[in-house]
Structure 1
Amino acid sequence: MVREADFVKKNRSSLSHKISFAVKNPGKVPRYARRLARDTWLKWRTGDDHLAYYAAVMKSDTARNPEAAVGSQTHGRWVALGKMQFTYLKKHGLVPSQTMLEIGCGNLRAGRLFIEYLDTGNYSGIDISRDILKAARRTLAEYGIEAKRPSLSLVSDNRFSAFPDAAFDVIHAHSVYSHCPINVIEECFVHVGRILKPSGHFDFTFDRTEGEEHQVLNEDFYYRTETLVALAEKHGLKAEFMQDWEELKHNQSKIRITHPA
């Protein structure tokens, strides 16, 4: 049974939550208002293409601070979250000979560790943001890992058309689909099974709610676990809620996708 964690109890889109937050955090209200204005403008400019909209969000955020753009407000937090992701997958059997795709690789917060650990040429990273990929290449140079020949590619959808069938042992997406509406997640599920090896697994984090599914600022999307499990099964995939990730007390939950036995 999935246990409810403290971070899944609030509907952040509700008026009562917004009022309560404003009363408790008056100093954050101006920042929220500026973000609301910016996101409204970007949404109007990009229309119904959510990935184009979020690429514009990333462009704006990366210009200020690439580490904050991927969700780390301090460098120490950037290092810690990267290590958390790496340690978790290594604990779950990641070995250097395996091939790995990181969806939404960002500026290689975890990717730098995967690249260093995996055999040369075994890491591929994709992202919808040209700007954050420039930051990723700076990370490669800073940590001296260009010789491991990672592949970093700009994409505009979730079809993975650049990759052959059964290309990857491990596919990983951290804090990617937590920013996506359900149609974008479904596009991933339609295509990800093709590039995943029969024995491989695809891990992704999501913002979990046990109440009404909702979104905030078109940036953060909250789903019930059963919604995502059913969607994966609709497309012939097996989905498992990862309780041991929950115990790490990260503020997102994790689901593992595999091929049915």
Structure 2
Amino acid sequence: MEAKNRSRLSYKVGYAVRNPRRVVPYARRLARDAWLRTRARDHVSYYRAVMRSDAARSPNGAVGTPSPEHWERLGRLQFDYLTGHGLSPGDRMLEIGCGNLRAGRLFVRFLEPGHYYGVDISPDILLAAQDTIVRDGLQDRLPHLTLVRDLRLDFLPAAYFTVVHAHSVFSHSPVQVIEECLANVGRVLAPGGFFDFTFNRTDGEEHHVLREDFYYRTGTLVALAARHGLSARPMDDWDLTGHRQSKLRLTHV
């Protein structure tokens, strides 16, 4: 992983020179970011507004996969990886940041009825998730879809979920939000269960771009997990899938 800092002016100028067609879209995103930040009381409310703006144009685009083919492919990638690394139909699964069920629709069909629980901070994307349930005919699988205001997970039962999954959630989260999740996910994680999440990795300076994309060193997240009684190990074979983010698996110490 390169140590480049995408927040530095030198990187932005070089990127603009190499990708001139992306200058105008970036300028629009910068203006939107400035406007939303003046109206948001915290990062979650800010990113909820980002999702509302993105979902109004395209629910698939709001979760980072603008084309139907890319949406299908990335959902399948997550599903195939997790079923190949421990997920079984009898597991009780919590997906943090379930979005419009890019991967969730596959988990819902695979797991026993009632065993999938998806949460998200965006009401707009959860409405799109309901559309996915209807489109794929998954009503009889009894998936749970719930809006949350934070990642404390305090309304969920203790030691209940055998698998917790968060794809491309921490890549959009400041460290305070990540720590809030790690401080509480151990309570809902069943003995012997695991929590898989992806993140934007850097081996250099940690940074963010427009408060939407955050880059962390692996050691930072491992240390945060340990602070809250969780042991973390890199899932190195995930890197072989070609996905740009890295993956950690957390278990109880």
Q: Quote the residue 1:78 is aligned against.
A: 71
Secondary structure (helix, strand or coil) at the match of 1:126 reads strand
Q: Tell me the residue number matched to 1:185.
A: 178
Matches within 5 A, 1:134-149: 134-149=127-142
Partner of 1:243: 236
TM-score (norm. length: structure 2): 0.99
The corresponding residue for 1:67 is 60
- Distance, in Å, in 2 between the alignment partners of 1:38 and 1:30 is 12
Q: What is the Cα deviation at residue 57 of structure 1? A: 0.2
2:248 to 219, 240, 255: 255
Q: Which residue of 2 aligns with 1:123?
A: 116
Provide the rounded CA distance (Å) in 1 between the counterparts of 2:75 and 2:34.
Answer: 31
After TM superposition, give the deviation of residue 10 of structure 1 in Å: 2.3
Conserved 8 A contact 2:92-2:163: yes
- Displacement of 1:9 in angstroms is 3.5
- The separation in 2 between residues aligned to 1:239 and 1:40, in whole angstroms, is 35
Runs of 4+ with deviation above 2 angstroms: none
Partner of 1:11: 5
Q: Any conservation in 1 of the 2:98–2:118 contact (CA below 8 Å)?
A: yes
Aligned to 2:227: 234
Q: How far apart, in 2, do the equivalents of 1:221 and 1:15 lie?
A: 16
2:21, 2:111 → 1: CA distance? 44
Task: Report % sequence identity.
Answer: 58
1:60 Cα deviation (Å)?
0.2
User: How many residues matched?
Assistant: 253
Any conservation in 1 of the 2:3–2:205 contact (CA below 8 Å)?
A: no
How far apart in 1 are the matches of 2:88 and 2:74? 20
**Deviation digits for residues 140-189 of structure 1 (CA, Å, limit 9, x no counterpart):** 00000011000000001111112111110000000011000000000001
Counterpart of 2:183, as a letter, is: V
Q: Deviations over 1:93-120 (max 9, x none)?
A: 2111110000000000000000000000
CA RMSD of aligned residues (A): 0.7
Residue type at the aligned position of 2:12: K
Residue 26, structure 1, aligned to residue 20, structure 2: yes
Are residues 1:111 and 2:111 paired? Answer: no
Residue aligning to 1:41: 35
- 1:206 pairs with 2:199: yes
The Cα shift of 1:239 comes to: 0.7
Shift of 1:14: 1.1
Equivalent-residue separation in structure 2 for 1:135 and 1:101 (angstroms)? 18
Residue 26 of structure 1 aligns with an amino acid whose one-letter code is P
Instruction: Say which SS state the counterpart of residue 251 (structure 1) adopts.
Output: coil
Runs of 5+ consecutive residues of structure 2 not aligned to the other structure: none
Contact kept? 2:173, 2:213, Cα under 8 Å = yes
- Would the aligned equivalents of 2:119 and 2:146 in 1 still touch at CA under 8 Å? yes
Unaligned runs of 5+ in 1: none
In the alignment, residue 143 of structure 1 is paired with which amino acid? D
Residue of structure 2 equivalent to 1:169: 162
What is the rounded CA distance, in whole Å, between the counterparts of 2:201 and 2:38 in structure 1?
Answer: 27
Distance in structure 2 (CA, Å) of the matches to 1:180 and 1:80: 24
Distance 1:91 1:9 in 2: 31
